Amino acid sequence: MSEETLQVVVRRREVQGRDVVVLDLAAADGAELPPFDAGAHVDLHLGDGLVRQYSLCGNPAERRTYRLGILRDPNSRGGSVAAHERLGEGARVEIGVPRNHFPLAADARRSILVGGGIGVTPMIAMAHVLHDRGQPFALHYCGRSRASCAFLDELAAAPFAGAVHTHFDDADDAQRLDLPAILAGADAGTHLYVCGPAGFMDWVIAEAGRLGLAPGQIHKEYFQVEAAAGGGRAFDVTLARSGRTLRVAEGQSIVEALAGVDVKIKVSCEQGVCGTCLCTVLAGTPEHRDVFLTDEEKADNDQILLCCSRALSDTLVLDL
């Protein structure tokens, strides 16, 4: 999580679709906001130590406003409910500076953007950039129903509206997402980007691989996963800077074990998504349970997400 924060004001609030609040945020002092690249997100500080990450869905060329779309999740752990209830027009809120773990590939010659539900938000920013660059792309927006989806009017009026395709579960089969057709003719210059519910993403990623896309051509950003820190055998963690060793019990996360000896670790999503609790591993083999690190980074075994991952070795030595 970024240490630098900004003070912003909710200049405009609108509820779209089914329980999606769209917020336009402006700097409290009226200045331009820091630039961001398509795919970036901000940490939204919602009070009481609650911090959550939300993708920026506006045009990156617009420097006066950051735009967020936040679904009120019935299974929320507090973030989306707090955003809906606390962030009315005129409300002041603290955010982190934009950071990006989901950038556009510099060498892409053709881009396929696939957003499931609220996972469309980073795709909208990507579409603006690709359109402005004159690069070929298509945006596929999937949802349970037209009535449940936000941003439809905005996308229909966008300068890239001709590249937008919608797919709804309750509509006829002819408009369903057809990945073999979408990826027909894909070559090494074709890149796929996907964001949405974990099950939807897993299906898109597996199908794209089956259709011939290499892992490096498939880019993903999870916003919620079922990452469980519990289970697995107990293990030891050694803190290299102090030399202390502590036991992480079965059913206990490393973060919880560290808190028990007054070592506080910054966490946010607590699901292995955001990377806030990323830590360097000096020795030992992690059991990676996150979706933040790439497969290559996981294979290196020199980093770990402390909120959800565990150990395959008897001991992990951490740079703490």
- Asked if residue 228 has pLDDT above 60, the reply is no
Cα distance between residue 27 and residue 92, in whole Å: 9
Cβ-Cβ contacts under 8 Å for 282 (sequence gap 6 or more): 240, 317, 318, 319
Q: Would you state the structure tokens that stand for residue 33, as one six-digit string?
A: 């906001």
- How many alpha carbons lie under 13 Å from residue 284 in its C-beta half-sphere? 25
Looking at the structure, tell me whether residues 114 and 217 fall in a common domain.
yes
Q: For residue 169, what pLDDT band results from cuts at 50, 70 and 90?
A: very high
- Asked if residue 201 has pLDDT above 90, the reply is yes
Looking at the structure, tell me whether residues 65 and 154 fall in a common domain.
no
Cα distance between residue 140 and residue 153, in whole Å: 15
Cα distance between residue 241 and residue 319, in whole Å: 7
Is 105 inside a domain boundary? no
Cα distance between residue 279 and residue 305, in whole Å: 6
For the chain, the average pLDDT equals: 92
- How many alpha carbons lie under 13 Å from residue 1 in its C-beta half-sphere? 22
Residue 174: CATH number of its domain: 3.40.50.80
Cβ-Cβ contacts under 8 Å for 210 (sequence gap 6 or more): none
* Res 1: pLDDT: 43
* Res 3: pLDDT: 67
pTM: 0.82
Q: Quote the number of domains for the chain.
A: 3
Looking at the structure, tell me whether residues 198 and 260 fall in a common domain.
no
Looking at the structure, tell me whether residues 261 and 313 fall in a common domain.
yes
Rg (CA), the chain: 21
- Asked if residue 319 has pLDDT above 50, the reply is yes
Q: How far is CA 62 from the centre of its chain?
A: 21
Residue 296: CATH number of its domain: 3.10.20.30
* Res 47: pLDDT: 86
pLDDT in tens, 28-78: 999 999 999 999 999 999 988 788 889 999 999 999 999 999 999 876 667
CA distances from 306 to 65, 100, 157, 224 (A): 34, 20, 43, 17
* Res 267: pLDDT: 82
Collapsing DSSP states into helix, strand and coil, what is residue 265?
coil
Looking at the structure, tell me whether residues 214 and 136 fall in a common domain.
yes
Q: 18 or 294, which is more confident? A: 18
Q: Would you state the structure tokens that stand for residue 18, as one six-digit string?
A: 């089914």
Q: Would you state the structure tokens that stand for residue 89, as one six-digit string?
A: 């027009």
* Res 222: pLDDT: 87
- Asked if residue 101 has pLDDT above 50, the reply is yes
- Asked if residues 305 and 272 have their Cβ atoms less than 8 Å apart, the reply is yes
* Bridge pairing between strands 137-143 and 41-45: unpaired
Looking at the structure, tell me whether residues 119 and 77 fall in a common domain.
no
Is 205 inside a domain boundary? yes
Last residue of a domain, one of 190, 222, 254: 222
Q: Would you state the structure tokens that stand for residue 183, as one six-digit string?
A: 């990826």
- Asked if residue 17 has pLDDT above 70, the reply is yes
Collapsing DSSP states into helix, strand and coil, what is residue 137?
strand
Last residue of a domain, one of 159, 188, 222: 222
Beta bridge partners of 93: 8
* Res 226: pLDDT: 52
* Res 183: pLDDT: 95
* Res 251: pLDDT: 84
- Asked if residue 178 has pLDDT above 80, the reply is yes
Lowest mean pLDDT among 115-119, 215-219, 273-277: 273-277
Is 136 inside a domain boundary? yes
Looking at the structure, tell me whether residues 125 and 59 fall in a common domain.
no
Q: How far apart are the first and last CA of the chain?
A: 17
Of how many residues is the chain composed? Answer: 320
Looking at the structure, tell me whether residues 185 and 247 fall in a common domain.
no
122 is in which domain, residue-wise?
A: 110-222
- Asked if residue 88 has pLDDT above 60, the reply is yes
Is 101 inside a domain boundary? no
